[in-house]
Amino acid sequence: MQTKEQAGDIFDRVRKLSSADETEVLFSGGKFALTRFANNTIHQNVEDQNHVLSVRTVFDGRTARASTNRFDEENLRRVVVASEALAKVQLPDPDLLPMPDSREANGNAGMSNRATASRHFAETAAVTPQLRAEAVRQIVDLAEKHKLTAAGIYSSSESVEGNFNSRGLARWHTQTLAEVSISILGNDSSGWQKANSPNVANLNPVRMAEIAARKAIDSAHPAEISPGKYTVILEPSAALDIVGFMFWDYSGMAILDQRSFLTGRIGSKLFGDNITIWDDVTHPLQTGCPFDGEGMTRKCVPLVKNGIVKRVVYARATAARMKRSEYKDKVGPIEATGHGFPLPNEIGEMPVNIVFATPENPQTVGEMIASTERGILVTRLWYIREVDPYEKIVTGMTRDGTFLVENGRVRGGVRNFRFNESLIQMLSNVEAMSVAARACGEESLDMVVPAMKVRDFNFTEVTKF
Amino acid sequence: MNHIMQPALNVATVRGASYADVRVINQRSRALTTKNGKVGSASGSESFGMNVRVIVDGAWGFAASEDLSRQGVEATAARAVEISRASASVKRKDVQLAPEKAVTGEWTTPHKIDPFSISVEQNIELLLKIDSEMRAVPGVTLAEANLNFNREEQWFASSEGSDIHQTKYSSGAGYTAYAFAGNEIQKRSYPNSYGGQWQNKGYELIEELRLVQNARRIAEEAVALHHADQCPEGTFDIILDSSQLGLQIHESIGHPIELDRVLGMEANFAGTSFLTLDKLRTLRYGSDIVNVVADARQEHGPGLGTFGFDDEGVPAQCTPIIRNGLFTGYLSSRETAPMIGESRSGGTLRAEGWNRLPIIRMTNVSLLPGEKPLTLEQLIASTDHGILMQTNRSWSIDDKRFNFQFGCEIGWEIKGGKRVRALKNPSYSGITTEFWNALDAICSRDEWTLWGTPNCGKGQPQQVIGTGHGAAPSRFKNIKVGSAYKGS
């Protein structure tokens, strides 16, 4: 693994090679390993190591980026030359700001952020192929005990991110992550569980397999029921995957581009009173790097309070543009929040560490089921895509454990549905939520999010299984 | 690259590998975007590395590294062997590979103009000209354009004696005009949405696309959509333009024929397939005029799935997938072909890059054009009442590839053989086999385009790769339209 000291030495070499007004070097990479199983067999088992260095140069308001994964002198020279050549032929960008120095990047005066706790765990970094295989063997044993079939992954990684610039900024982040995803399949049913954590000790693959197997067993012989509007109980991963589709829009650049569903709606009450959301990289259940693509510290940003959209996040240049724009009095507080992507880019920024507030009176999923006269319990959503960008209608399917709930009890499995649902409507119809928990899915970034009971969820079609 | 490949093969075999292959890859890319009169992003990248794939004790292992020193290469090979031994602790039976002759080969994407020989200034000038044309139309609120070029040089060697060198080029370009007004965001894209058109070609692709010439029309259509009627809900005959049909093929034929999905190997993420083995040569996939091939050969055209050899050294092939409506073939690899009694791999194993394991990927999965001469305008003229849908806006399909829903950027109502009005927010949905059996007309070769899908995701860790899909505008009878907005 690359160290901050090694990266600093490389940055010094790059800086000596650069003739630019300003030079920035991003470092990323590490070691990633993944054991994959299906049909109760490990069928793929991979490991890779890679580190990437990306050089951004600036000449008189012109900027561009070039990257390489080779750090010898010749290739450092090549990547600097490539970055400079690209930058010099750009048009000057009047919105481009000088690179941040350490004071600006670390400052964030007036913010009350927690320090981000270490997200690097030696125990995770030390996970071996043998340890992963042993966990898979236990998962497979459990599946075979029930005459079911297991498929899934167990991955472990150790990674670095760094940002150094010619104004003295030197930021470094290391992290580990372990992830387990398990599908248990029956003849006509399936169940699924997925979890990850920087600390492998927080994962319990066997317990996850037991839950997935129970879902497969309980959803066997699925009944076909008509599509329509149902009360749904979305487990946290399902809630995450669908609501995640709106967070690209909580961006100053998306407002300026008029591609956000929040254009003209900031300050409005869009969702129910019980919806409060913020972005907070320091949350103990969150993961990720505490600084953004320019090296700015990620601030804690309240996005929605009691259903009212309060503000969006900003990269430095976007905040400066917004302050000059026609929207400046209509979008709440405007400041660089540390959510920018590496420059140059066309999308600006987005919140990547979403945290939903736990309601005053949280309910467990079991309590939600008990209070439901007729509804659908959803384990997982799949292949979600945006249908309408301003009404924020998204479509997708249920998958791997979809159940009919009647008179407060789970009655059995049902065939999977297609939904077409407005996220504005959905978050206005949340009747109950659980304690917010760390969840991960397939289509959206990991989140701290509750299970949600939602009325009038719009299923438009049913599929064949 | 023998100084890298041979030590890796030696270490793997000495340590017990019954099979080993090595890929060394050097990738180069250029990506440029513009947005509302400015350069949005400008980047170039290079990535160089190698991997070793082995079978030890009947199980797979794979390791990849950026470290190309002798010591690094040998350590990577040893690591792949160690990983294999861990795999072998949870196996049902030994991996068997379909036999394949060792081959020494050389292949390069046919191209007229090396895209990296064109200056970045010229690239930006083109993008800004397109941008200017779009923003000249009142009502356009956002204009985005992109150019992308890739070059991948790969050396492959196996313990069976294969030694292959390939160099692949791909180019892509496209743009989108957005119009925000009232409570709607509408958009139009050219030549296709989500990055435009991509092919395994040099810069000549960009010159063929008539990008600037179409920019103003596309922008005008985006603005005009605000005055169009909402697409009705109901059952209609629909005509899909070739780009939308390309994506329809990708999702509802290309993915379900992947044999790894069928055999459950992708069950946890990408899903499985409704095309269980009993359906081979028995299922009426489509109507009699449906003929689909998976063709990686150069003679099929410059698709993103065109190559000389796949990533386990199997020469490019053409596999008939659907013949006159009957389902006839899967996409296979050396590992999966024997599992269904096939004697040879279909040659479809590909990886995103040097640090990823090759898995079964679509090559060019194409619907062959109609045999009788038929233009789009003639197809419209022969349609009594229907809806023409153009350019994908959204796509979704279940994890067995049965139930799908697509949205398009623009629709046109057809009455009495004529386009009578534009429609906004068109969408359609269906069940895969019912849909393909409803196909009653396919335009002929002159209307056929080999589209590129540059963003196909599959695998764990997920790999994004390009696939090709040839299609001509086609008509489908009695299709459910408008569900996407039903109940909203």
Measured in angstroms, the CA of A117 and the nearest CA of chain B are apart by 27
pLDDT at A111 exceeding the cut of 60: no
**Domain residue spans of chain A:** 4-31+41-107, 122-217, 222-465
Q: Which residues of B, range 1-60, sit inside 8 Å of A by Cβ?
A: 33, 35-36, 38-49, 51, 59-60
Q: Residue A108: pLDDT band by 50, 70, 90 thresholds? A: low
Residues B364, B424: one domain?
yes
Contact of B440 with chain A, judged by CB distance below 8 Å, is answered with no
Whether residue B240 is found in the same domain as residue B162: no
Query: Do B267 and B331 belong together in one domain?
Result: yes
Find out whether the peptide bond into B338 is cis, omega within 30 degrees of 0.
Answer: no
CA B419 to the chain's CA centroid: 31
Summarised one tens digit per residue, pLDDT across range B338-389 is: 999 999 999 999 999 999 999 999 999 999 999 999 999 999 999 999 999 9
User: Helices B2-14 & B70-88, crossing angle to 10 degrees?
Assistant: 40
User: From the CA of A455, how many Å to the nearest CA of chain B?
Assistant: 14
In this structure, the answer to whether residues B183 and B52 fall within a common structural domain is: yes
B239 lies in the same domain as B332: yes
Does A32 touch chain B if contact means CB atoms closer than 8 Å? yes
At B290-301, the pLDDT tens digits run 999 999 999 999
pLDDT tens track, chain B, 488 positions: 899 999 999 999 999 999 999 999 999 999 999 999 999 998 999 999 999 999 999 999 999 999 999 999 999 999 999 999 999 999 999 999 999 999 999 999 999 999 999 999 999 999 999 999 999 999 999 999 999 999 999 999 999 999 999 999 999 999 999 999 999 999 999 999 999 999 999 999 999 999 999 999 999 999 999 999 999 999 999 999 999 999 999 999 999 999 999 999 999 999 999 999 999 999 999 999 999 999 999 999 999 999 999 999 999 999 999 999 999 999 999 999 999 999 999 999 999 999 999 999 999 999 999 999 999 999 999 999 999 999 999 999 999 999 999 999 999 999 999 999 999 999 999 999 999 999 999 999 999 999 999 999 999 999 999 999 999 999 999 999 999 998 76
A425 at interface of B, judged by CB pairs closer than 8 A? yes
As a whole number, the mean pLDDT across chain A is 96
Give per-residue pLDDT as tens, B155-201: 999 999 999 999 999 999 999 999 999 999 999 999 999 999 999 99
Supply the ipTM of this predicted assembly: 0.96
Cα(B482)–Cα(B406) distance, integer angstroms: 10
* Residue B270 amino acid letter: A
Residues B367 and B415 in one domain: yes
The count of other CB atoms within 10 Å of the CB of residue B420 is: 11
What pLDDT is attached to residue A113? 55
Q: Which fold has domain A4-31+41-107?
A: PmbA/TldD fold (3.30.2290)
% chain A with pLDDT above 90: 97
pLDDT grade, residue A464 (50/70/90)? confident
Sort out which chain B residues have CB atoms less than 8 A from A460's CB and list them: 429, 483-484, 486-487
Q: What is the per-residue pLDDT for B146?
A: 98
Q: How far apart are CA A15 and CA A94, in angstroms?
A: 24
pLDDT at A110: 44
Give the CATH number for residue B166.
Answer: 3.30.2290.10
For residue B265, give how far its alpha carbon lies from the nearest alpha carbon of chain A (Å).
5
Of B180, B199, B227, the last residue of a domain is: B227
Question: CA-CA distances (angstroms) from residue A8 to A3, A63, A82, A165?
Answer: 9, 22, 21, 10
pLDDT in tens, A320-346: 999 999 999 999 999 999 999 999 999
Residue A67 predicted with pLDDT over 90: yes
Q: For residue A359, what pLDDT band results from cuts at 50, 70 and 90?
A: very high
Q: Same domain, yes or no, for B370 and B237?
A: yes
Does B292 lie in the same domain as B183? no
Q: Which CATH number fits domain A122-217: 1.20.1050.10, 3.40.50.2300, 3.30.2290.10, 3.40.50.620?
A: 3.30.2290.10
Per-residue buried b or exposed e for A335-370, using 16+ beta carbons within 10 Å of the residue's own CB: bbbbbbbbbbbbbbbbbbbbbbbebeeebebeebbe
The per-residue pLDDT for range A129-187, each reduced to its tens digit, is: 999 999 999 999 999 999 999 999 999 999 999 999 999 999 999 999 999 999 999 99
Residues B405 and B260 in one domain: yes
Using CB atoms, pick whichever of A66, A85, A460 lies closest to residue B43: A66
Full residue range of the structural domain in which residue B38 is found? 2-227
Q: Is B66 on the interface with A (CB under 8 A)?
A: yes
- Looking at the structure, tell me whether residues B222 and B239 fall in a common domain: no
Q: How confident is the model at residue A112 (pLDDT cuts 50, 70, 90)?
A: very low
Give the SS3 label for residue B15: coil
Query: Residue A248: what residue type?
Result: W
* Min distance B375 CA to chain A CA atoms (Å): 30
Q: Which residues from chain B sit within 8 angstroms of residue A416, using beta carbons?
A: 398, 403
Residues in contact with B262: Cβ distance below 8 Å, sequence separation at least 6, in sequence order: B256, B272, B273, B275, B276, B277, B330
Last residue of a domain, one of B176, B205, B227: B227
d(CA A433, CA A455) in angstroms, rounded, equals 12
* pTM of the model as a whole: 0.97
SS3 for chain A is CCCHHHHHHHHHHHHHHCCCCEEEEEEEEEEEEEEEEECCEEEEEEEEEEEEEEEEEEECCEEEEEEECCCCHHHHHHHHHHHHHHHHCCCCCCCCCCCCCHHHHHHCCCCCCCCCCCECCHHHHCCCHHHHHHHHHHHHHHHHHCCCEEEEEEEEEEEEEEEEECCCCEEEEEEEEEEEEEEEECCCCEEEEEEEECCHHHCCHHHHHHHHHHHHHHCCCCECCCCEEEEEEECHHHHHHHHHHHHHHCEHHHHHCCCCCCCCCCCCECCCCCCCEEECCCCCCCCCCCECCCCCECCCEEEEECCEECCCECCHHHHHHHHHCCCCCCCCCCCCCCCECCCCCCCCECCCCEEECCCCCCCCHHHHHHCCCEEEEEEEEEEEEEEECCCCEEEEEEEEEEEEEECCEEEEEECCEEEEEEHHHHCCCEEEECCCEEECCCCCCCEEECCEEEEEEEEEEECCC
Q: Do A420 and B485 touch (CB under 8 A)?
A: yes
- Which residues 350-379 of B are in CB contact (within 8 Å) with A? 355-357, 359
pLDDT at A109: 44
Within this chain, do residues B245 and B173 fall inside the same structural domain, yes or no?
Answer: no
Give how many domains chain B has, as a whole number.
2
User: Do B205 and B265 fall into the same domain?
Assistant: no
* Chain B CB within 8 Å of residue A257 CB: yes
